[in-house]
A and B are shown apart, each in its own frame.
Chain A
Amino acid sequence: MKGIIRRSFAPAAWLGWQVESNWASPLLFLAFSVLKPVAGVLILVFMYNTVSRAGTSAPIYGYIYLGNALYVYVGTVMAGTSYSILEDRERYRVLKYLYIAPINIPVYLFGRATPRFLAGSLAAAITIFFGIVFFKVPVHLTLVNWPLFLTALMLGVVCLAGMGIVLGSWTLTLRTQPWFLGESTAAALYLFSGALFPLTLLPRFLQPIGYLMPITYWLELMRRALLGPAAAVFPTLATLSNAQLFLILGVQTAFFLGLAFVAFRFFDRIARDKGLIDALSDF
């Protein structure tokens, strides 16, 4: 285990960090890392302020703000794994060398995703901090349920990593527009996971998609941890207790980890058989 971490995880995490950050000075990198999620959340703040007369104490305000701020993890952890594979395969063209190196590829992928997770955590933290200080998001740090927050965060990130491995493994076998897989999955989940609005606003026939997604339950737990009882005012998941939400999220996480294991073996074999490890999707 120690050998795998030393040989596969640590170098991958270091490499990922260099790829992500060494194009700019640390300060500039930090600024760019924060700019994107803060701008994304500012769009919603201005949309809210333009049409709403309810003020920032309305439950929907905190719901929208935090949903968007936390959604950064979906892009960085889940879609990021798929991007890592494509970057290594097509941009830097080193995936073939990694495959013949004595490393564990899934562990390597976790390592590559780690800097994205850290950058995402920093961005989410700063976005929420901005929200509290400048945009009156009703989060009171002394009233936050920290154990609930940290447990839900960890469980959610593990689940997203599992989903990321599934997507990343699938990416290995794609030659047509593979770059869109992670992005379009993240975009679809943005709509169906209740990140910005309660699922009950969606047409009834689309709501089941949202109820099947672990991100729906993860975001609800995170909001409850940060906002307290005000988070549970929307009818979507109000009938479920925190324990029930954890149970659902836990089962879904176990499912996606199992699926990640199977998917990696399956797609990896296809990619090897068809010679796709060093394929390029240029046209």
Chain B
Amino acid sequence: MNAPIAFAAAKTTRPDSGWRLFLRTIVARAYPRVVGQQREKAWLFFETFIPFVAIVSYVYVYRALDAPPDYIGFVVIGGAMTAFWINVMWNMSAQLYWEKDNGNLPLYIIAPNSLMAILLGMALGGMLATTLRAIVIVGLGTLLFHVPFALSSAAELAVIFVLSMAALYGLGMMLASVFLLHGRNAFQIVSALQEPVYFITGFYFPIRSFGFTLAVAVSAIPLTLGLDAMRQLMFASGPTLGLLSVRMEMAILAVLAIVFVYTAKLWLDHMERRAVQEGALTDRRR
């Protein structure tokens, strides 16, 4: 392209703004997530293998205890959902901190697009690969351990899954700015909180075992209610072991999703303002 044509093209091409910029940012940030993960076959293998080995261990614990077959299914579904928690914590909440460490964060801050769109792109890109991993885990678990599914409503299950993901990724977005502000601690905190979250979320046992009050208190983590509702919809004994009705859990998850996403927007805006005003938040030496 010669110089006059390039100049004319530059004059007629208007930069994206508003919703168009927002959507294009999401696609642009999701793209490397999806493509990058396909190029890292070892990563895909390990991120499926490690949760699956934990699932198999817990399945054998239930077998050692002569538990009813539905509990094997609880472990398989819970184990598959751990992939989403890991994805949200490591590849989203801690992501801005990694970006700072790699020196990319200032570019995110000075770019004209919204940080929320960048994080949403990460979420969608990561969610695709994580969903595939979760499907593989459920498939393998079902095949190896003959999980007795008794699906009562596929539509409600789909709604619960989508609401759980919206609330969970909203929580991840919210924590991204918190982790960034707390620097190196982010790594340690994410690592230290992994098992406690697996415990209080009831990944491997019905949350009702906590008793009603405590179970409701830990329901602020979206996967708690999401898993409880999924188990109610997928297993014959699920409704008898559920905490609240599926409809009620659906409503609470919808509220959590709105609250987390809105709070994430507020906190990210605050963090972006601080980064610009102080000029030190993005410094990787901090």
Is A283 interfacial (CB-CB < 8 Å)?
yes
Q: How far apart are the CA atoms of A282 and B43 in the complex, in Å?
A: 12
State how many angstroms separate the Cβ of B204 from the closest Cβ of chain A. 6
Q: How far apart are the CA atoms of A191 and B55 in the complex, in Å?
A: 9
B-side interface mostly: helix
Q: Are A46 and B57 in contact (CB under 8 A)?
A: no
Is A180 interfacial (CB-CB < 8 Å)?
yes
Using A36-B195, A177-B46, A201-B60 as known contacts, say yes or no to A47 and B205 having CB atoms under 8 A apart: yes
Contacts of A27 in B (CB 8 A): none
| Other-chain residue from B39, B46, B63, B194 in contact with A180 (beta carbon distance below 8 A) | B46
Taking each of B40, B61, B188, B195, which has the highest tally of chain A beta carbons within 10 Å of its own beta carbon?
B61
Q: How far apart are the CA atoms of A47 and B43 in the complex, in Å?
A: 30
Using A42-B199, A183-B50, A190-B54 as known contacts, say yes or no to A49 and B209 having CB atoms under 8 A apart: yes
Binds A, one of B65-73, B163-171, B224-232: B65-73
Q: List residues 1-31 of chain A with CB under 8 A from any CB of chain B.
A: 23-24
Contacts of A197 in B (CB 8 A): 57, 60-61, 63-64
Q: How far apart are the CA atoms of A131 and B63 in the complex, in Å?
A: 22
| Nearest opposing residue in chain B for A201, CB measure | B60
Contacts of B139 in A (CB 8 A): none
State how many angstroms separate the Cβ of A115 from the closest Cβ of chain B. 14
Q: How far apart are the CA atoms of A283 and B36 in the complex, in Å?
A: 8
Q: Are B185 and A24 in contact (CB under 8 A)?
A: yes
Is A32 interfacial (CB-CB < 8 Å)?
yes
| Nearest opposing residue in chain A for B102, CB measure | A282
Using A42-B199, A46-B209, A177-B40 as known contacts, say yes or no to A51 and B68 having CB atoms under 8 A apart: yes
Using A60-B64, A282-B102 as known contacts, say yes or no to A50 and B50 having CB atoms under 8 A apart: no
Q: How far apart are the CA atoms of A46 and B61 in the complex, in Å?
A: 12
A-side interface mostly: helix
Q: Are A198 and B192 in contact (CB under 8 A)?
A: no
Q: How far apart are the CA atoms of A46 and B68 in the complex, in Å?
A: 15
Contacts of A37 in B (CB 8 A): 195
| Cβ proximity bits B44-84 to A, threshold 8 Å, 1 near / 0 not | 00100110011011101111111110010000000000000
Using A24-B188, A51-B65, A60-B65 as known contacts, say yes or no to A196 and B57 having CB atoms under 8 A apart: yes
Q: How far apart are the CA atoms of A35 and B194 in the complex, in Å?
A: 10
Q: How far apart are the CA atoms of A64 and B67 in the complex, in Å?
A: 15
Contacts of A190 in B (CB 8 A): 53-54, 57
Q: Are B57 and A36 in contact (CB under 8 A)?
A: no
| Cβ proximity bits A42-74 to B, threshold 8 Å, 1 near / 0 not | 111011111110000000100010000000000
Using A24-B188, A37-B195, A44-B61 as known contacts, say yes or no to A50 and B42 having CB atoms under 8 A apart: no
Q: Are A180 and B67 in contact (CB under 8 A)?
A: no
Is A188 interfacial (CB-CB < 8 Å)?
yes
State how many angstroms separate the Cβ of B56 from the closest Cβ of chain A. 6
Q: How far apart are the CA atoms of A249 and B204 in the complex, in Å?
A: 33
| Other-chain residue from A32, A60, A187, A282 in contact with B50 (beta carbon distance below 8 A) | A187
Q: How far apart are the CA atoms of A51 and B61 in the complex, in Å?
A: 11
Q: Are B62 and A177 in contact (CB under 8 A)?
A: no
Additional 10 contacts, C-beta under 8 A, given A24-B185, A43-B204, A51-B62: A36-B195, A46-B209, A47-B58, A47-B205, A50-B206, A191-B53, A197-B63, A198-B64, A201-B63, A283-B39
Query: A interface vs B, CB < 8 Å?
Result: 23-24, 32-33, 35-37, 39-40, 42-44, 46-52, 60, 64, 176-177, 180, 183-184, 187-188, 190-191, 195-198, 201-202, 282-283
A-B pairs, top 10 by smallest CB distance, nearest first, are: A180-B46, A51-B67, A39-B196, A39-B195, A32-B192, A197-B64, A177-B42, A39-B199, A187-B53, A40-B195
In the assembled complex, 28 residue pairs joining A and B whose CB atoms fall closer than 8 Å, in A order, are A23-B185, A32-B192, A35-B195, A36-B191, A39-B198, A40-B195, A43-B195, A43-B198, A43-B203, A43-B205, A46-B205, A46-B209, A47-B204, A48-B61, A49-B209, A50-B67, A50-B206, A51-B62, A51-B71, A52-B65, A176-B42, A188-B53, A196-B60, A197-B57, A197-B60, A198-B64, A201-B64, A282-B102
